Amino acid sequence: MKISTLLTKDSVFSQVRCTSKKSALEIISHIAAEKLDIDAQRLFNDLISREKIGSTGVGSGIAIPHVKIDSSLPATAVFIQCETPIDYDSYDGNKVDILFAIFVPEDRCQEYLATLSEISQKLLNKTFLKQLRTAESAETLFELLQAE
């Protein structure tokens, strides 16, 4: 499962106004719920439950919230670049401004782990991360994320 197969133009957002971790996860839930045609509150609850296990803030201002979804649904992702960094309880204590959320069917867990690794490696590349942070439109973000 590649990043390019998870993201669509309508799931990448630039300069999103997030006031907190909760508001960012609510925004992500609504976007994903619309794409998957399922209940946004359920997705939000799943994301919050996952965060209670441990923060998905991986450091360097990046969070990769992720949850399993029903096997009948397609894997999908939502990418948001926050207008201003938010408190996220990241392991390194830094605020987060880049969120790459992944929703993967339960029966595709192995692919999901490989995808998480790929996303982490790509996002933690300092040059790439700087490009994401300075991108001024969702279209530019999408193009950057689609490049393999």
Query: Among all residues, which ones are annotated catalytic?
Result: 66
Token couple for 121: 């490696």
Q: How far apart are CA 109 and CA 147, in angstroms?
A: 24
Q: What angle do CA 45, 95, 35 make, to 5 degrees?
A: 40
The Cα 141–Cα 61 span in angstroms is: 16
Q: What CA dihedral angle connects 110, 112, 128 and 95, to 10 degrees?
A: -120
Q: What's the CA gap between 107 and 49, in Å, rounded?
A: 20
